[in-house]
A and B are shown apart, each in its own frame.
Chain A
Amino acid sequence: MAVTTVYKEPAPIVDRENPLESMMSRFNIAAEILGLDESTYNVLKAPDKQVIVNIPVTMDNGQIRVFEGYRVVHNTILGPSKGGIRYDMHVHLDEVKALAAWMTWKCAVVDIPYGGAKGGIICDPTKMSAGEIERMTRGYTLALKDVFGPDRDIPAPDMGTGPREMAWLMDEFSKTTGATSPAVVTGKPLVMGGLWAG
């Protein structure tokens, strides 16, 4: 039953107008039943951390283009945060925030010791060469070296990314920290200790 298809973290299509609010409306119904006080609601409404990075990338034509990337860590109370990295022109910080929160609930419901996170870079990977995507991925990883980590925040593939990007991320992080760190990211190629998806 081994399959080589790569797991991409499924994520809900969120309301583009007000993504975090629509996410929190589901939360509200459950919170009301549980009788949660407002302070807990306020803690969970806002993400722990929102990082915006600018990534200069030397394009194949020699020019330097700057890409905007995000990483939102919604919550780490249950463990290091987990969530995919999306390469897409529609990446938007508010949406990344909502998807990060969704990962917190998703990990909690299956009872695995993770918090929730999500990241992305505004780009169109279909119009970039492999070299350009590699340099951008390495730049993003370097910019977020203090956010990522096997005990801090563990990315995964999402829309527009796959095992190839995860391998670059693992490599850059390992070189930067001076320690081989396969556990900094999941969804790596099978040969690198990647997963069986099913």
Chain B
Amino acid sequence: MVSAIAAMKKLGMDPTKSSAAVQGFGNVGSWAAKLLCEKGVKIKGVSDISGAYWNEEGINIDEAIAYKNAHNGRLEGYTGATSMDPDELLTSAVDVLVPAAVEDVITEHNAERIQAKLIVEGANGPTSASADDIINRKGIMVVPDILANSGGVTVSYFEWVQNRLGYKWSEGMVIERAARIMNDAFEKVYATSQKYKVPMRIAAYIVAIDKVAQTYKFRGGY
């Protein structure tokens, strides 16, 4: 969620005065909620397969994760929030929306009603192509999946680097270095989106393809 905080900064949002809703409370969603919460973001709504839960004052995420872990990985029966219609979670009055469950949850049917100023795609492909146009027209910033959930491959890379070195970094070093890589990637994609005046999703592809194409040019050989 390094990219979420970086994006909030670009949008002039103060994390301690912002709220978020997180759809999906599995591995990605619960970690996203926890990390945003640590930065002072008020997590007003979360959902999982058992339903959606809302607390205007902010959900105690550590408590919710502990509850989930003690109840078969589900939030069903959690009393720290009130139940709400899961479909309404996506269009609720929050500043940041983190779809971290399944694909195609933001579509042309609900995109118009989204109130968040920032969408961070924890899941893969949560925004359908038909919703992209509406979201762009509304001026909502989307941190695309390819960027938002690339923390995993970054940490995989660190595993490989350490294996090759025959050395083990401290946990703090792994976290610090991963944050730097994610932050640099966000800045690059953001600058590209400004330069070409395109949404972040297209900008991410531009960054990736440009790097590959340029390397081909230098290496040549075909």
State the CA gap A1–B174 with chains docked (Å). Answer: 11
B150 contacts partner chain A, Cβ-Cβ < 8 Å: yes
B158 contacts partner chain A, Cβ-Cβ < 8 Å: yes
State the CA gap A78–B31 with chains docked (Å). Answer: 30
Q: Is the CB of A112 within 8 A of B154?
A: yes
A31 contacts partner chain B, Cβ-Cβ < 8 Å: yes
Q: Which of B124, B164, B182, B208 contacts A105 (CB 8 A)?
A: B208
Q: Is the CB of A2 within 8 A of B198?
A: no
B219 contacts partner chain A, Cβ-Cβ < 8 Å: yes
Known: A30-B202, A111-B185. A193 touches B159 (CB 8 A): yes
Chain B contact patch, size range: 35 or more
State the CA gap A43–B219 with chains docked (Å). Answer: 14
Q: Is the CB of A12 within 8 A of B202?
A: no
State the CA gap A106–B123 with chains docked (Å). Answer: 14
A70 contacts partner chain B, Cβ-Cβ < 8 Å: no
User: Which chain B residues border A188 with CB–CB below 8 Å?
Assistant: 159
Q: Is the CB of B198 within 8 A of A34?
A: no
Q: Is the CB of B162 within 8 A of A193?
A: yes
> Chain A 8-30 against B: per-residue CB contact (8 Å), 1 yes, 0 no?
11111100000000000011011
Q: Is the CB of A108 within 8 A of B207?
A: yes
> Chain A 169-198 against B: per-residue CB contact (8 Å), 1 yes, 0 no?
000000000000011001110000111111
Known: A36-B209, A77-B219. A109 touches B124 (CB 8 A): no
State the CA gap A150–B208 with chains docked (Å). Answer: 23
> Chain B 103-125 against A: per-residue CB contact (8 Å), 1 yes, 0 no?
11000000000000000000111
State the CA gap A176–B157 with chains docked (Å). Answer: 24
A8-B152, A12-B125, A13-B103 known; 19 new pairs, CB 8 Å cut-off, are A9-B153, A12-B124, A29-B205, A33-B196, A33-B198, A43-B216, A43-B222, A75-B212, A77-B216, A77-B219, A105-B204, A105-B209, A109-B147, A109-B150, A110-B150, A183-B160, A193-B168, A196-B171, A198-B175
**Interface set of A (CB-CB < 8 Å, partner B):** 1-3, 5, 7-13, 26-27, 29-31, 33-34, 36, 40, 43-44, 75, 77-78, 82, 102-112, 114, 150, 154, 156, 182-183, 186-188, 193-198
**Interface set of B (CB-CB < 8 Å, partner A):** 27-28, 31, 103-104, 123-125, 145-147, 149-160, 162-164, 168, 171, 174-175, 178, 181-182, 184-185, 188-189, 196, 198, 201-202, 204-213, 215-216, 219, 222
